[in-house]
Structures are given as structure tokens and as C-alpha cells.
Structure 1
Amino acid sequence: MQKTYNCLIVDDEQLARNLLSAFISKVPFLNEVGSCKSPLQAMEVMRSGIIDILLVDIQMPELSGIDFVKSLAVKPVVIFTTAYSEYAVQSYELDTIDYLLKPFSFERFMKAINKGVEFLELKKQPTDTAGNDDVIFIKGDQKIHKLFTKDIFYIEGLKEYVSFYVKDKQRIISLNSLTKLERELEKYQFIRVHRSYIVNLNHVTAFETHALWIDDKEIPIGKTYRDIVKKKINW
């Protein structure tokens, strides 16, 4: 039997809530547990049960959708629904699954839902049988990728995007920020060595004052990061 996923709608516009309710009702594995006109009302609903997928507008009175999501200690899968494209980058920094720009079709809605369900299913999967349970989930190439941190060699910043270079010389481009990843990956032996690079110290094969190497890839060490790098590798 297919699992049912609980959805919560948060939008100050009645027509927008009605449309999402109609879309949800068409999908057998989705269950609408609430349709709220404000984040404050949604908080009450979220206290009463488990929410798997949160469909939330951004521009709302009292509290924006972005600030609402930031306030959540435990976040469900978040899909923003908004008429404003300028919030896209900011929303993805909150690990949102998708960003639906109004008006959107049922087909586009389902694409976002399927990404969310894929993410939830990946989180339930058992981790590496060798005992390494250090994994992260990233969005890239219209997929959710489950990456073992030991398989990430380095990460390169590309303005609003980053490139993950992983084993077998694969490259995954994701809408993300190095600053956010630096905080998340620090506990896994990753270190920021340049404004454009984070490296996995376990894969560093050589280094000098101004650069380090991961196999044949030379990565510069920024002047402001040199003391931190030296301390980290006991140089």
C-alpha cells in the first residue's frame, strides 16, 4: 500500500488555497490536513500532527512565508507558491524542494510534489552498510541527490550556484551557497580554503602555502583562509 503524505496549505488568498486543495484532491497519495490563511494559523495546525509537505505563499500579512519557514524547528518538505520570482534564491537557501511561480499548472504542481516525495523516500532509506551514515541531500539536475560526505571531494562556488565534485569525477550543480554548506559540512572534515572553494580534507593529496591538491586538481588557498587551513592540518 502506498504511503499517504500529509499536506498543509498556507496562503492568504482564498482562490490560491482553493486551487491547491483541488490539486491535492486529485492525487491519491496526498492528504490535505489544513488550509490556512496565515502562518500563525498554520502553526496551530502543525502542533496537532505530522506535516510531510508544506505548500506556503511568501508575501503574507503579519509574517512572510520565508520568515515562517525560518522559524520552524522541524521543517517538513517545503514548496513555496508565489507570484514573485525575486525570492527564488532566498527560498532555496532554506532547503526548499521547489518554487512554484503563480499561476502554475497541475503538471507543474505534480513535478514539485514528486520531488518532495522522492526526498522523503530517500530520507527513509537505510544508510551505508559499511557504517558511514554521514549523508546530505542536495537538489540538482532536477533531482534530489543523496550524497555520502566521504564521496564529496570538493565544492566550488558559482555565484548563486555551487558545483559538487564527487567520486568517479561526477559533477552536480545545485542552487546553494558556500556559506551555508560551510556550516553544515564543518563536522565532516570539510574546510573553506578560498571564497570559492570548500574541500574535503580526507581527499587532499598535497599542499603548500598558496594552494592544495586533490589528485591533479589544484585549488588556491585564499590569503584570509591560510591561518585557518594551517591550524586545521597542523602545518
Structure 2
Amino acid sequence: MIRCLLVDDEPWALELLTSYISRLPSLQLVAATTKPLEALSLAVPAKTDLIFLDIQMPELNGLQFMQAIDQRCKVIITSAYTEYAVAGFEHNVTDYLLKPISFDRFCKAIQKATSQLTAQEPPPVASHIFVKTDNKLVKVDFAEILYLEGARDYVFIHTVTDKLVTLDSLRNFEDILPSSRFVRIHKSFVAAIDKIDAVEKSRVIIGENILPIGESHKQAFLAAINKSRGS
């Protein structure tokens, strides 16, 4: 099953590709969105194999989007313009579909993607994420993160040198961040395992920060700590 993500600022284009995907049992639609920044949170190997990506979009164009995901997913460009073809293939895109896209041409692109996904080596492990804050995307290295703090509709990312705030959910970050490096310790906190200096009763100490351990998360947290000790 190939998990597909559709990113296009034109709703009619999303509807067409959604209908094409529904006709092929080998494809599964993860999401269809007109918001490229929203799509970034889904463009990771655990959730998406193949992205159908428009080029000309507000907030973030297709070329910038591909730079952000850094080849962690296969990409098929969907555009009404031919002038982006060279730039697209410089990003190793699987195919370049010109709008309006016929079902036959769509199927040929899927055949290419299937061959590449079947033959490819395991994707490189991500070392960073891009976070939207202050109307820009900021690269945050996993190695710099101390812990994340959820507060209603916002997440505060506490790093070695900074504190960033983004409009998002802690659950979403928990899904994105590698479980080998981060663990949920409380309904409001996710901690970087390698930044934990001590565990004392029902709290975690990270530098000068003391974070609570929620009772419902305690068992999974201790299991993650024990696994880290054995690695």
C-alpha cells in the first residue's frame, strides 16, 4: 500500500487526484490539503510514501517544500507549467504531471513510483524538523531539543539555546518525533531522552528544569528509559 499526500492550492485539482487514488487499490490517501505548511507535518516516512505536489502555492511553493522534506518521501509534481521541470528533477522527483492530468498518465506515474519505492533502500533517519513560528519556518535539530511543552493550542519547544512557540498540538509532535529519542512523560510534556539528567520519584530533571511525570505515562516512560540504558 502506497500512502499518498496531495498538496495543491486548487481544490478542483485535489478532487481529481482524490478520485484517481480511490480507483487504485494499491494507493491509500493520507490527506489532501491546500495548505503546504500543514502538509509538512505529514511528510515523514512513517505517514507518507508519495506526495503529489503543486509548485505555485502561497505560503510555501513546491520547490521550497521539497527542500524542507529533504527527499524523505517520493514526489510527483503536478503543475500547469513546464518551466519548473528542470528544477523539479534536480530534486529527484519521480515524475512531472502537467495539468489537466489524465487517468492514464496518472497510472504511468504510479508505476514509476511503485518501482522506486519497491527498490529503494530504507530512507535516511531524519535529524531535524521545520517548525512554523513568527510567520517563518525554523529548522530545529533533534539534538538541540531539551523538551516540548503543550499549552492548549500551542507547543513551546525548549532547546539548548532558545524557546520557540508554534500553533500545534503536542500529540502531533509526539507522532513526528522519533520514539527512540523522545518520550511523552506527562499530558503537557515530551522529553528528549538523552537530555534527562535524573529521574527522581515522579519528576524528571533536565538541567535546571524539573518536569512532572504523569501517572498514565509513567510505565511507557520507564520502559523507554530502560531501553535507552540497554542501547
Question: Which TM bucket (shorter chain)?
Answer: 0.5 to 0.7
Would the aligned equivalents of 1:133 and 1:148 in 2 still touch at CA under 8 Å? no
SS in 1 for 2:184: strand
Q: How does 1:155-194 map to 2 (within 5 A)?
A: 155-168=148-161, 170-194=162-186
CA separation of 1:94/1:72 partners in 2, compared to 1, >3 Å: closer, same or farther? farther
What secondary structure does 1:187 align onto?
A: coil
CA-CA distance at 1:9 after TM superposition? 4.5
Q: Percent identity?
A: 24
CA distance in 2, matches of 1:140, 1:45: 35
Aligned residue in 1 for 2:210? 218
Unaligned runs of 5+ in 2: 1-6, 23-27, 43-55, 72-123
What is the match of residue 94 of structure 2?
none
Corresponding residue for residue 10 of structure 2: 10
> Secondary structure, in 3 states, of the residue corresponding to 2:201?
coil
Determine if contact 1:207/1:213 at 8 Å carries over to the other structure: yes
- Give 1:8 deviation, angstroms: 4.2
CA shift at 1:79, angstroms? Answer: 3.5
- The question of 1:120 aligning with 2:85 is answered no
Contact 1:92 1:175 in 2 (8 A): no
TM-score, normalization by structure 1? 0.52
Q: Work out whether 1:146 is the aligned partner of 2:121.
A: no
Tell me, in whole angstroms, the C-alpha distance in 2 between the residues paired with 1:193 and 1:227. 9
Identify the residue that residue 26 of structure 1 maps to in structure 2. none
Residues 95/122 of structure 1: CA separation in 2 closer, same or farther (3 Å cut): closer
1:110 is displaced (CA, Å) by: 7.8
Match of 1:101 in 2: none
Count matched residues: 153
Pick the aligned partner of 1:79 from 17, 23, 34.
34
Q: Distance in 1 between matches of 2:175 and 2:125?
A: 20
Change in 2 beyond 3 A, CA 1:141/1:152: same
CA distance in 2, matches of 1:230, 1:113: 40
The 3 A distance-change label for structure 1 pair 220 and 46 is: same
CA drift of 1:118 comes to: 3.9
Calculate the TM-score normalised by the size of structure 2.
0.53
Aligned CA-pair RMSD: 3.8
Q: Is the 8 A contact 1:190 1:200 kept in 2?
A: yes
Deviation at 1:204, TM superposition (A): 0.4
CA deviation digits over 1:172-213, x for unaligned, max 9?
Answer: 111111112212224342110000000001000111121011
Match of 1:135 among 128, 149, 167: 128
Q: Which structure 1 segments of 5+ residues have no match?
A: 1-6, 12-34, 48-70, 82-90, 97-108, 126-130
Local SS of the residue matching 1:225: helix
1:196 aligns with 2:188: yes
Go from structure 1 to structure 2 and tell me whether the alpha carbon gap of 1:119 and 1:94 turns closer, same or farther (over 3 Å shift).
Answer: closer
